[in-house]
Amino acid sequence: MKKPKISLGSGGIKGLILKHVEKAVVALAVLFFVFLVLKASKLGGDFDLQPDQLQTASVEADKAIRAPKTGPSMEVPLWGRIADGIKTEVPAGPYVIPYPWMHQLFPGETLRGQPQVFPVEKLRAATGFGGISISASGVLGGADTAMAGGTDLGMEGAEGGMGGYGAGGKAEGHRWVVVTGLLPYKKQFLEYGNVFRNAEVKDPRRDVPSYSYYDVQRAEVTPGVDPKEEDWQPLKVFSDMMERRKKWAGSQPEIVYGKFLHRTTGVIPMAYPLPPLVGKSFGPEIAHEPEIPLYYVPEQKEQREEVNLEELENDPEKLIQARTLMGRVGGAGQYGEPEMYGESYESPEQDYGGYGMESEYGMEAGYGPGGGGYGGMAGAMGPRREIPEYQLFRFMDFTVSQGKYYQYRVRLRLANPNYQMPAQGMESEELTKAPFLETDWSMETKMISVPLDSRVLAGPVNVSSNVNVVPRGEAVTVFFKEADGTEVAEKHAAVYRGQLMNFYQVPVKEEKPAPSLYGAGEYGAEMEGDIYGAGAPEPPKAKKRQPKEEVEMIDYVTEMLVLDFQGGSPLPGIDRLKAPGRTLLMDPAGNLILKDELENQEEWIEFFPPEEKKKPEQPGDIYGEEMYMTAP
């Protein structure tokens, strides 16, 4: 039997496929559609919701998605304080970029503004009393006002002049409170530099701090009670100072370095002139240690450097230095002295530069209070020195009363650097109208007590080994006579516990001599402590009572109560010395005061010097031992 063949030609399978492939594709598509329909018909689900219900469900779902999801609750401590902190603005200072993104190669010019002014710092007060030399002529020892010391514009110091104290007169007793503080000069100087450095309009004479005046208020207080605003009363600064200086026999030389004294353009110096005390000197209370110390110890003469005249003759350049060595400037007046400086506020650490113009430090010096050395050189020619951190503020109040308590506060006035300047270069025309810039009131001083005219000096304490014998002490009461500024004293051989140290109608046995200070000396009133020299009046001698003269009676009213004693017991040793005595007192305000024998010994001896034992003369020595010892 013949097997059939599969034809692969156009009439075989190939032809079959070509003729029926479209039908097969269509058939498969129909079958797939039928499959999908059958499959969909068998699917189940909840399709009962209406369209509006679907829309509502969609909105609810959207709200649920957008609503914040609350987590578990937690308790936050101090939530109220934290919430209040939200109201406080975040300070931008810690986040400020110190350097600008686009730094200018050259600073642009700005309009003139107004610098901030700073009040006096560290104000404090101290009390004092004593005799002040009063001029017989009533006008500063016969000298012109400007030559008597201070900062007024005076005549140029004559070589080897004798300005200063004048030629004698009488003495008056005064009490005073001296108030000292620190003028923040360097801080103020740099503030002026920050404001005026790039100003379009500059004036070297104005663009530096110039303290011109000050106001002082005083409150009379009760211990333990803070003063109220209405308790602060103004004091007369200008009129009181001028009236007193007219009566004084000159002024004591200043004992503070010149760089710490502000040279004011006004008539009121920032450092109150020192009155000519009789028989005593001022101490550290008129300075402000440690920032502003005294430059010499009172009554201690300065060793001056010898000048080689031949060497100066051969080297004229050294004559500039010689002028300083041979005689200091007779106290710089309004315009400074060679020790002062020119100005430059380019850097806080930079020395004073110098405009070299008629500014506070750049003008010719040598104008001053009284005599002295040669006139000074121009300030701008002097050596550049460091800007002083502080300068001295000092005020003296002579209107205080004994036994009262006071507090003080001060407001400074600086010359307005923009006063009456053209308005074109100003930030505001208002800056040109006020003549002064006023600081805020300073912090008030601590309460200061003006002591009574009578005071107590403690002496030795006597104790007994017998317990039935109460200890007793020795004391001296001292009375200050306001009429002439002298002091009288009375010794009390025995005072006891519980005794009130008031003694009435005590006759004056002998007054302590109170020699006046000598003249200013050959180098003028500005020498450091040079109180000896030509033209010095003789110290007054102790007054001798005439036979029929009435004995003066004194009331020693100290209001001090003796509480207890310490010391007086024998010390070990062959000399059998006794321990120094101490006396515990209570003042009228209830304060406890401890008086020490050793601390009061020097003043005790001034009133009651120990008796000197006379040495017997050697046989045959007709001149005595002293003459023999001093013979050449």
DSSP 516-557: BP----TT-TTSSS----TTPPPPPPPPPPPTTPPPPEEEEE
Alpha-carbon gap, residue 177 to 394, rounded angstroms: 10
Q: What is the mean pLDDT of residues 55-83?
A: 81
Residue bearing tokens 């509006």? 52
Alpha-carbon gap, residue 207 to 343, rounded angstroms: 10
For residue 46, the tally of other CB atoms under 10 A from its CB is 5
Confidence (pLDDT) at 500: 92
- DSSP-derived 3-state class of residue 144: coil
Alpha-carbon gap, residue 342 to 549, rounded angstroms: 64
Indicate the range of 156-160, 351-355, 386-390, 581-585 predicted with least confidence: 156-160
Share of the chain above pLDDT 90, in %: 23
Give residue-wise pLDDT tens across range 438-494: 999 999 999 999 988 888 999 999 988 888 888 999 999 988 888 887 888 889 989
Phi, psi of 393 (to 5 degrees): -110, 130
Q: Which helix (H) or strand (E) holds 499?
A: none
Alpha-carbon gap, residue 160 to 328, rounded angstroms: 10
Give residue-wise pLDDT tens across range 94-132: 888 777 676 666 666 788 889 999 999 999 999 998 889
Confidence (pLDDT) at 122: 95
Q: Is the pLDDT of residue 140 over 70?
A: no
Tokens encoding 8: 């692969």
Give the torsion sign (CA, 474, 480, 486, 488).
negative
Q: Cα Rg for the chain, rounded, in angstroms?
A: 46
Of 371, 348, 367, 346, give the one whose Cα is nearest residue 358: 367
Of 177, 178, 166, give the one whose Cα is nearest residue 134: 166
Confidence (pLDDT) at 603: 86
Tokens encoding 631: 């013979």
Alpha carbons within 13 angstroms on the beta-carbon side of residue 229 total 1
Candidate ranges 250-264, 393-407, 419-433, 498-512; pick with highest mean pLDDT: 393-407
Alpha-carbon gap, residue 550 to 252, rounded angstroms: 36
Confidence (pLDDT) at 616: 61
For residue 609, the tally of other CB atoms under 10 A from its CB is 8
Widest CA span in the chain = 197
Confidence (pLDDT) at 313: 54
Q: Is the pLDDT of residue 215 over 90?
A: yes
Of 320, 281, 284, give the one whose Cα is nearest residue 300: 281
Q: How confident is the model at residue 621 (pLDDT cuts 50, 70, 90)?
A: very low
